[in-house]
Amino acid sequence: MKKAISAGTLRFGEVSSLGPQRPRVLGFGFSQGPLLPLSPRLYNPPVRRRIKIIANPISGRGRARRLARRVADELRARGCDVVLAETAQAGDARRLAGKTGGFDAVCCVGGDGTVNEVANGLPQTAPPLGIIPSGTANVLAVELGLRRSAAALARTIAEGRELTWDLGVERPTGRKFLLFASAGYDAEVVRVFHARRRGPIQQWQYFWWGLKSYVDYEVPRIGVELDGCELTRRAAWVQISNVSAYGGPLVFTPRARPDDGAFEVMVQHSPYKRDVMRMFWAAILQYALGIEYRMRDVTFHQARRIRLWSADGRPVPVQIDGDPAGHLPFDGEIVPGGMRVLVP
């Protein structure tokens, strides 16, 4: 019992037995109020008082600004001191995240791009990161099982558990990523789309630009080195992933976990463009019908350090956490437990 009361670190996928949820009664799934005459606070004391919230106000068509204020109000109602800082331009989130002295948690309102920026700005001694999702894909929020209501998010920030999260780090730049990096077709779509992007993204726009990019797409030849061993010089598409979710219904790396100290690397080998499309069909079939469609030209690997290069010299774009990140070569490694994030 004592162990259950003390605050600790939750491993990914573990279900918190603490927290304010009410116990189920005899497994029937309905509850009749708390069985124990103890307030949730006794189980899970509010450990975070001073909270910094960094909001990208244009994220989610203005939803971010409203949500940030509602969460701040909820936190203040819980007795927390809240500093709310809004970004005005790219780079602000990173700069604001650099000043975390005296805060018990730093929170970030926006999409996966804003979370990535904040993670890159956090100093090594930073408090845990809270995520208030308001972007388009919010892969991280889906992966963490965050709820959308301001009250639930405030509770997670003030009283939620901490989860250790493996960080991807690109070398030699030191750019961090939380979700994935890739080179190949999806990185090309991200590059083309972001070059024309105006304001917030909607999911259908990815679909549209995906089709448009496909018309002129040429399958690259990517060299792949995993933990110092060369795997191939003829890869068509490489996904380096920390999480199974990719965005929307798509799952390319089903066994990737953010706390196992390694990346799941998916390599598509086929040189034919039509096989790129088959990847998407396979992912959609899997989502819609639960059918696991095995692609014969796709292999999966676990690795801690990954080097990619263009084997025939053509420029091959790279995306990191859904944002364009230049072109190959790419050199990335994992820092196990590199950061802490807050979960319900």
- Binding interface with Mg ion (CB under 5 A): 257, 260
Q: Is 285 left (phi over 0), alpha (psi -120 to 50) or beta?
A: alpha
Q: SS3 for 326?
A: strand
C-beta of 260 vs 331, nearer to Mg ion? 260
At closest approach, how far in Å is the CB of 260 from Mg ion?
4
At closest approach, how far in Å is the CB of 262 from Mg ion?
5
CA 166 to CA 240: how far, in whole Å?
Answer: 13
At closest approach, how far in Å is the CB of 136 from Mg ion?
24
| Contact criterion met (CB below 8 Å) for 69 and 153 | no
Ranked by CB distance to Mg ion, the top (closest) residue is: 260
Question: Under 8 Å CB-to-CB from 21, ≥6 apart: which residues?
Answer: none
Q: What tokens does 193 get?
A: 């789309």
At closest approach, how far in Å is the CB of 59 from Mg ion?
27
At closest approach, how far in Å is the CB of 239 from Mg ion?
13
Q: Angle at which helices 150-159 and 63-77 pack, to 10 degrees?
A: 50
C-beta of 257 vs 307, nearer to Mg ion? 257
At closest approach, how far in Å is the CB of 243 from Mg ion?
8
The C-alpha torsion from 145 through 149 and 155 to 161, rounded to 10°, is 10
CA 50 to CA 150: how far, in whole Å?
Answer: 17
C-beta of 244 vs 286, nearer to Mg ion? 244
Residue 86, burial from CB neighbour count under 10 angstroms (0-12, 13-18, 19+): middle
Tokens 């450990």 belong to residue: 47
C-beta of 101 vs 261, nearer to Mg ion? 261
C-beta of 248 vs 337, nearer to Mg ion? 337
At closest approach, how far in Å is the CB of 244 from Mg ion?
10
At closest approach, how far in Å is the CB of 14 from Mg ion?
16
Tokens 């230049």 belong to residue: 326
| Contact criterion met (CB below 8 Å) for 138 and 111 | yes
Question: Under 8 Å CB-to-CB from 159, ≥6 apart: which residues?
Answer: 19, 20, 40, 41, 44, 45, 46, 47, 48
C-beta of 109 vs 341, nearer to Mg ion? 341
C-beta of 257 vs 301, nearer to Mg ion? 257
C-beta of 92 vs 260, nearer to Mg ion? 260
